[in-house]
Amino acid sequence: MDKKIISTIYDFCLEEDYDSTLLATLNLLKNSSAREALEGDSFTFLSSMIPLVEDNSIKARIIETIVESSNYVSNDTKLLDEYIRLVSLGEVVLSEAVRCLGAFSVSGITMNEIFTKLAESPNKELAIEILVLMGNRDWGDLPSHLESFANEVKTLQRIRYRSGVISTFLLSVHPLCSKYAYIGELSFGYPSTEVAVNDWAWVTPESTKYMLDRKIVSPKEANILVELGRLIRSDKNLDAADMKKLYTQFFEGKNPFDVMYTLPE
């Protein structure tokens, strides 16, 4: 099946004005079980098609198809270099780029190489966004000129984590957030309070240690999260008095968004 799809892709590469059909065929391969049947010759075949394609977004899709196959293993950075070039041109979908670069790290390319190449690419904003969403902090020894860039990524990773924690807290203690989360434009990480409650992990002081160690929340905030976890564990239906008390203690009259995006000292 995979060889038939690849043969079809190759035929399209030799024709003109078949971009939409070629992309659809690539999507079929990328999102089907046939991708897991790809092996050495198939990877070589797909790689040879990249220079034949003019559309950069399709080039990116070919690379994603290759790298995201569980059988792909390589420490050769040629494909990575080309993919980073396409990233810098804005020819990738953000979520797909995060997934593909994660697949590169599994295939044999080090996070040090991925970080360095992204950091040195022209599109710094997109590079930062991708690295933040990837969530990895272990980049190995970096050149001195990239230290400030790495620190910026780490800070934004902490803010992302904090915003997720506090948005979940809001979903649990603010009655309107809870009521309208399923149709609201704001993202709370969970579709409803019930789902958040079932996944709530901050029940003991030890469970907030990760966040405290990385200064994602303050000790006072951590204690309030633990208290919410305790109440949820004892009774999943918080009453209005409990919710108001926790909300007031956490935000102390401040704008929740100011609190959400301000890291503790």
Residue 227 lies in a domain: yes
**Cα–Cα distance for residue pair 8/4, rounded to 1 Å:** 6
**What is the span of the domain harbouring residue 117?**
75-141
Q: What per-residue confidence (pLDDT) applies to 1?
A: 45
46 within 8 A of 65, measured Cβ to Cβ: yes
Please tell me the pTM assigned to this model: 0.83
Structure tokens at 10: 């190759």
E-strand stretches of the chain: none
- For residue 17, the one-letter residue type is D
Largest CA distance in the chain: 68
Burial of 152: CB neighbours in 10 Å, binned 0-12, 13-18, 19+? middle
- For residue 23, the one-letter residue type is L
Q: What per-residue confidence (pLDDT) applies to 187?
A: 72
- Among residues 109, 141, 173, the one where a domain terminates is 141
Residue 116 lies in a domain: yes
Burial of 140: CB neighbours in 10 Å, binned 0-12, 13-18, 19+? exposed
**Cα–Cα distance for residue pair 223/264, rounded to 1 Å:** 14
Residue 96 lies in a domain: yes
Q: Which residue has the tokens 């399709």?
A: 58
- Local confidence pLDDT in tens for the 265 residues of the chain: 455 555 665 565 555 555 666 676 777 666 666 566 677 777 888 888 888 888 899 899 999 988 988 888 888 899 999 999 999 999 999 999 999 999 999 999 999 999 999 999 999 999 999 999 999 888 999 999 999 999 999 999 999 999 988 998 998 888 888 777 777 767 776 676 677 766 677 777 787 888 899 999 999 999 999 888 888 877 666 788 888 999 999 999 999 999 999 999 8
Residue 265 lies in a domain: no
Structure tokens at 168: 């979940």
Assess whether 216 and 197 both reside in one domain.
yes
Residue 254 lies in a domain: yes
**Residue 198: C-alpha distances to residues 35, 163, 179, 191, 236 (Å):** 35, 19, 17, 12, 9
**Cα–Cα distance for residue pair 93/116, rounded to 1 Å:** 20
CA-only gyration radius of the chain, Å: 23
- Among residues 141, 165, 197, the one where a domain terminates is 141
Give the count of domains, the chain.
3
